Structure 1
Amino acid sequence: MRLKDWDNNLKIRLGGESLVNITFWMFFPFLAIFFTDAFGKTAAGLLLVFSQVFSVVANLLGGYFADRFGRKTMMVISSIGQGLSFLVFAYASSPWYDSPWLGFICFTAVSIFGSLYWPASQAMVADVVSEKDRSSVFAIFYTSTNIAVVIGPILGGIFYADHRFELLLSAGVLNALLGLVLYKWISETAPAYKMHAVSENNMNWLRFLLHQLRDYKVILQDKTFLLFILAGVLVAQTFMQLDLLIPVYVKETVAPQTLFAIADWSFDMEGEQIFGFLIAENGFLVALLTIVITKWMSAYKEKKVFVLSSIIYGGSMIMFGLNSWIWGLILAMAVFTFAELMTAGIQQGFISKLAPDNMRGQYFAAASLRYTIGRMVAPLAIPMTEWIGYFWTFVTLGLLALFSSVLFALMFRRFEKEARLTA
């Protein structure tokens, strides 16, 4: 599907969201450093766990709100809410007022509004794009995000340390403007019958949440799927360290180094710039190699891909713990990204194999628990460094990733056995 044939809603969103994402990624990867400096490692880790609990609840409710109040309404509210939260965060990091606690509250609010925005934005694509073209549309949005992940951290590495206030202020203004643009120029796409049906059910948000949790309880009684979730949580909490442990580690342990030197000229980088470069490397490799590696992995059995990906994730964690040399970190990030991309293209298809036809939507929703729970527990790695040190923290994370390969192997054994019984 060519870009010129897209619905006008999606064209506006692609431009606006791309600009907002670049600004967001100019400071987001460095927030773990900010909160660690402000509160200490133990308190920062526990606070980040606490903040993610609210985001998890918001994520569970996002689809309900998108159906009840409409895609456009939730996207506008979420964008403006994020904008106002960023503006207050900027004030809390300004020359006139400095309050890490207010900044943390604003960061939590940003996370909540982001969790409400995502389901509505995904549903809008499904509303206006035919099934055969959805993959290509989602792929373009995904690519635009990864371009932001390349550009944003590089700029952030240059400007964040001395211009955090200006970056947060820019993010606030751009998010608020995006909300106003969405309000003025996009149209509602939620099917009227669906919004009406949700209203007629008279199910408030609390009843919906409890109902959804009961659905998850039934699904998790599927032991094969439960193993998939448990293994996925271990992998997800490893992946989340990209924005949590790794930036703190690089800032505290990696000395300023020379990346390139030619004759008398050299390109030197220090902690935050090195981390920005590593994040940009990850985004660049994802944007460049996702399709290639997905096609490559499709030639192998899913069991081998999932198990090997977990083993490589574990190896990359140990590589990070062993390195304070910039080129060693670059190599570790390349290995880490390869592990990420190995399963990027096959996960959704495998979930559809696990799910009964009449419960496929619920299984996909429950599968997101891998990321929601992983995001909740991942910040605990930061206080772990005070208890056992950076090296052993990375080794522990590596061992957890390796253990996920065992869980994946057990899951596939059950899955293959069940397939033989039903054949």
Structure 2
Amino acid sequence: MKVFHWDLNLKVRLFGEAIFNLHFWMYFPFIALYFSTELGNSTAGMLMAIPPLISLFGSLAGGSLADRIGRRHVMLMGSSIQALMFVLFALSMSPWLDYLAFIGISFGGAIYRPPSAAMVADLVPEAERRQVFATFTTAKNIGAVLGPALGAIFFFHYRHELLWTCSLILIIYTLVIYLIVKETKHDIHSKSKLRHVMKAQWSDYREIFRDKIFAIYILAGVFAVVTIMQLDLYLPIYVINHVPAQVFIGWNQWSLFLTSEEIFGWMLGLNGLLFVLFVLPVTKWLKNRDERDIFILSSFLSGTGMLALGISTNIWYLFLVTVVFTFGEIVRSPVMESFVSRYAPRESVGKYMGADSLQYTIGRFLAPITLFLSEWLEPVWILSILFASSLFSIYLYAHLFKLFSVDKSTE
């Protein structure tokens, strides 16, 4: 399904989300390092565990409201909250107010994501969804190519200007959603009182969490995400504290010398470049492969890549390891949303998409434990724990699809 044949809603969102994510990646990879520098590793570890809990409520509310009052209204709500919080971040002169704004940005983004994914399910036939989700992933990660390298300069030296730019982009994008994007869910109940909507929402989620197969899917994702999320949590701490500055390229008397911070920025840039170049080809290549095999391969690659990180601090070796764990994330990304959109009952796609984000919110809540552990443990032990987390997710995925195949055979 080529982009120029897409519904206008999807085209607008593809462009808007790509522009925003370019600026998002200029600040997000450095936020844990920023709070660690300002407030200390232990305090930062505790603080970075809170936004995922806030996002949990945002995701669940966003998913349920998307099914009840419509995708467009909830997307507007989420983008508006993010815009306001970026303004607060830009005006702030205190790391604690910065942190409050960061929580608000996380909350707004969590509200936005479930209706955004559900809108794709509304507009795209099931057979083509994996490719469409992969295209959105590619667009989002274009910013991850240049963002970290630019962010190493702009976030630390021109942070307020960067945050004002993010604010302006989100304000414009919110106006574009309001003026151009059309509602894709028509059996909505916009006249329902908020109290009744919230009561029905939690009743709906109780039913979802009684779904044993979906619960195992979430748990497996949590242990996979704990490893994947280290890219912007433990990885910057490890690289900046344990990887020495070194020559990247040398020729005769000339050489390009990178500091530890710059090496980390280049690793993130490589991560984003690989996403942009390979997420669509890999998705197409794995189009007919079983979802079980893809999830297991993803956990194995990301866990192995993270474990191998501690073997050498050579810059070219680190780039090779980056390729390994990035492909673990690449093969997983489009399959997750396509699996949920196929598995969920048609009338509950938004709620299941909201519940699906639990694996990220819970995983991101647990992931900062590496910042705590870095105070007492050597890197090799932390990297081994992350590898063990990936292995446990592999076990859970194998068990999940065993149950899933039995469940389908009894229908």
Which band: TM-score by shorter chain? 0.7 to 0.9
CA distance in 1, matches of 2:63, 2:348: 16
| Aligned mate of 1:384, from 369, 373, 386 | 373
CA contact (8 A) 1:294 1:343 kept: no
Question: Out of 156, 164, 168, which is 2:163 matched to?
Answer: 168
- Quote the offset at 1:173 in angstroms: 2.1
Deviation by residue 1:270-323 (Cα, 9 ceiling, x = unmatched): 233222211221122122222433455467665554444433322211122333
Q: CA–CA distance in 2 between the matches of 1:176 and 1:76?
A: 10
Aligned amino acid, residue 360 of structure 2: Y
Q: Is the 8 A contact 1:158 1:273 kept in 2?
A: no
Q: Compute the displacement of 1:67 (Å).
A: 4.5
What is the CA distance between 1:385 and its match in structure 2? Answer: 0.8
Q: SS at the partner of 2:256? A: strand
Q: Report what 2:387 is aligned to.
A: 398
Bigger Rg, which one: 1
Equivalent pair of 2:118/2:349 in contact (CA under 8 Å)? no
Q: CA deviation at 1:411?
A: 3.8
Give the 3-state SS of the residue equivalent to 1:195 in structure 2.
coil
Match of 1:206 in 2: 198
1:194 corresponds in structure 2 to 188
5 Å-filtered alignment, 1:245-394, equals 245-297=234-286, 303-347=292-336, 366-394=355-383
- Bigger mean CA offset, 282-291 vs 43-52: 282-291
What residue number does 2:25 align with? 25
Q: 2:112 aligns with which of 105, 117, 120?
A: 117
> Taking structure 1 as reference, are residues 209 and 268 closer, same or farther at Cα in structure 2, changes over 3 Å only?
farther
* Letter aligned with residue 398 of structure 1: F
| Cα pair distance change 1:264/1:160, threshold 3 Å | farther
CA distance in 1, matches of 2:171, 2:119: 20
Match of 1:44 in 2: 44
Between the aligned partners of 2:123 and 2:396, the Cα distance in structure 1 is: 39
1-side partners of 2:102 and 2:177: how far apart?
23
SS in 2 for 1:321: coil
Provide, for residues 152-177 of structure 1, a one-character-per-residue CA deviation record: whole Å limited to 9, x for no partner: 11221343332222212211222222
Specify the SS of the correspondent of 1:387. coil
Distance 2:199 2:165 in 1: 38
Deviation of 1:417 (Å): 6.0
SS at match of 1:267: strand
The secondary structure found in structure 2 opposite 1:260 is strand
Query: Cα 1:252–1:161, aligned 2, differ >3 Å: closer, same or farther?
Result: farther
Q: Which moved more, 1:233-242 or 1:101-110?
A: 233-242
Structure 2 residue 230 is matched with structure 1 residue 241: yes
1:152 aligns with 2:147: yes
State which drifts further: 341-350 or 364-373.
341-350
Give the distance between the partners of 1:414 and 1:401, measured in 2 at CA.
20
SS at structure 2 position matched to 1:258: strand
Give 5+ residue unaligned stretches, structure 1: none
Which residue is 2:53 aligned to?
53
- What RMSD over aligned residues (CA atoms) do the two structures have, in Å? 3.1
AA aligned to 1:336 is F
Question: 2 CA distance for matches of 1:124 and 1:360?
Answer: 9
Contact in 2 for aligned 1:22/1:152 (Cα 8 Å): yes
**Partner amino acid, structure 2, of 1:57:** F
Partner deviation per Cα, 1:248-278 (whole Å, 9 max, x = no partner): 2222222222211222222222233222211
**How far did 1:192 drift?**
4.5
User: SS at the partner of 1:27?
Assistant: helix
Indicate the SS of the match to 1:266. Answer: strand
Indicate if the aligned counterparts of 1:80 and 1:180 stay in contact, CA closer than 8 A: no
Measured at CA, do residues 151 and 208 of structure 1 come closer, stay the same or move farther in structure 2, by a change above 3 Å?
farther
Query: Given residue 111 of structure 1, which amino acid in structure 2 is its aligned partner?
Result: S
Bigger relative contact order (CA 8 A; separation at least 6): 2
Stretch of structure 1 that moved more, 396-405 or 225-234? 225-234
Count matched residues. Answer: 411
Q: Distance in 2 between matches of 1:132 and 1:416?
A: 20
Assess if the C-alpha contact under 8 Å between 1:321 and 1:395 holds in 2: no
CA contact (8 A) 1:310 1:339 kept: yes
Q: Normalising by the residue count of structure 1, what TM-score does the alignment of the two structures yield? A: 0.85
Structure-2 change in CA distance of 1:5 and 1:303 (3 Å): closer
Matched letter for residue 166 of structure 1: E
1:29 Cα deviation after fit: 0.7
For 2:109 and 2:25, the matched residues in 1 are separated by 14
Deviation at 1:245, TM superposition (A): 1.1
Cα 1:410–1:122 change in 2 (3 A) is: closer
Q: CA deviation at 1:117?
A: 1.7
Give distance in 2, aligned partners of 1:49 and 1:207: 27
Is 1:215 the equivalent of 2:207? yes
Deviations 1:220-272 (A, max 9, x none): xx2x5444332221101111111211122222222222211222222222233
Q: Does 1:177 align with 2:172?
A: yes
On the 8 A contact 1:41/1:382 being kept in 2, the answer is yes
1:53-110 Cα offsets, whole Å, 9 max, x none, are 1111000010233345544443334333222211221222xxxx3x110000000000
Residues 19 and 358 from structure 1, CA distance in 2 versus in 1: closer, same or farther, beyond 3 angstroms?
closer
Distance 1:7 1:287, change over 3 A: same
